[in-house]
Amino acid sequence: MGEFVNLEVEAGVGTIRLSRPPVNALNNQLQAELGDAAREAAARDDIRAVILYGGEKTFAGGADIKEMAARSYVEIAKFGAALTASVSAVAAIPKPVVAAITGYALGGGMELVLAADRRIAGDNVKLGQPEIQLGVIPGAGGTQRLARLIGPSKAKDLVFTGRWVKADEALSLGIVDEVVAPDDVYAAALKWASQFVNGPAVALAAAKAAIDGGLDVDLATGLKLEATLFAALWATEDQANGMKSFIENGPGKATFEGK
């Protein structure tokens, strides 16, 4: 349990909760605790899916600008590398990860949102990469994950202008996948995450690895990765149980142990 980031586990779902009022600004300590929470969530067998959550009021308002402004080049280079590593640790969690977005997700907060597999937002949220308005650019995945998610042209519009988008535009752009009432954000994220609690954990990890890994290589290499991960699942108990259940009882009735 950290001072600013907690990992709460209930019924197979781990919630990585940011708690640094008033806006969960990402300072040195928060980013370090975020990385620790992500690595713990990845390692724990009792966690089958993960929710990223900043609380009822806001997801994360970005980096701590006062702290950043006072840093030297050497200091900011270290901080940027550490923040990138922590956000990447979230993206690397080998389980389904959903961001439950309330209030604002800006700058580093937006970059954390982009590290999730799915994004559910309240209908009053505002998202964006406003770094250009400070004379800098996103430094923890904003130029890379956003372009991969919505395409380079749309990503450049957001990064070049630094403008914020509301929930409806974020949905149309493909930044978020679902928009709900503000009070329903966490419940909607929990509903999505909970469907994987009794699922084939190894196969889910393989599916995530195939999709994410394939995005970074050419199609032929991606297909080889997929084929390798596909064949490897024949070493799991879940594959044997799933296919046996299908043959004997039909589809959708298998029980999985995550082994």
As annotated, the active-site residues are 111, 131
Peptide bond connecting 22 to the previous residue in cis, omega within 30 degrees of 0: yes
pLDDT at 250 over 90: no
The residue among 41 and 258 whose pLDDT is bigger is 41
pLDDT at position 172 = 98
Q: Are strands 104-106 and 97-101 parallel, antiparallel or unpaired?
A: unpaired
Looking at 3.90.226.10, 3.30.70.2860, 1.10.3720.10, 3.40.50.2300, the CATH number of the domain 5-194 comes to 3.90.226.10
Nearest Cα to 208, choosing from 98, 122, 81, 101?
98
Q: Which residues contact 153 (CB under 8 A, 6 or more apart)?
A: none
- CA distances in angstroms from 210 to 51, 155, 216, 217, 240, listed in the order given: 21, 24, 10, 11, 21
H or E segment to which residue 201 belongs: helix 201-215
Please give the mean pLDDT across all residues of the chain. Answer: 94
Distance CA 206, CA 235 (A): 13
Say yes or no to pLDDT of 144 above 80: yes
Q: Could you tell me the residue ranges of all domains in the chain?
A: 5-194, 201-249
Question: Strand 13-18 to strand 5-10: parallel, antiparallel, or no bridges (unpaired)?
Answer: antiparallel
Give the list of residues 6+ apart from residue 119 with CB closer than 8 angstroms, or none. Answer: 98, 99, 101, 113, 175, 176, 177, 178
| For the chain, percent of residues with pLDDT exceeding 90 | 85
Mean pLDDT value of segment 171-195: 98
The pLDDT of residue 79 is 87
The model's pLDDT over 22-73, given as tens digits with 9 standing for 90+, comes to 999 999 999 999 999 999 999 999 999 999 999 999 999 887 788 888 889 9
Of the candidates 6, 102, 116, the one whose C-alpha atom is nearest the C-alpha of residue 61 is 102
What average pLDDT does the segment 10-15 reach?
97
Q: Is the pLDDT of residue 1 over 80?
A: no
Residues 153-173: what's their mean pLDDT? 98
Averaged pLDDT for residues 203-208: 96
pLDDT at 5: 97
The tokens for 172 are 């149309």
Residue 70: its pLDDT value, please? Answer: 85
Q: Which CATH architecture has domain 201-249?
A: Orthogonal Bundle (1.10)
What is the average per-residue pLDDT within 230-259? Answer: 89
Q: Which of 111-120, 122-131, 246-255 has the lowest mean pLDDT?
A: 246-255
Inform me whether the pLDDT recorded for 167 exceeds 90: yes
Higher local confidence (pLDDT), 217 or 257: 217
Whole-angstrom distance, CA of residue 259 vs CA of residue 238:
6
Residue 248 pLDDT = 87
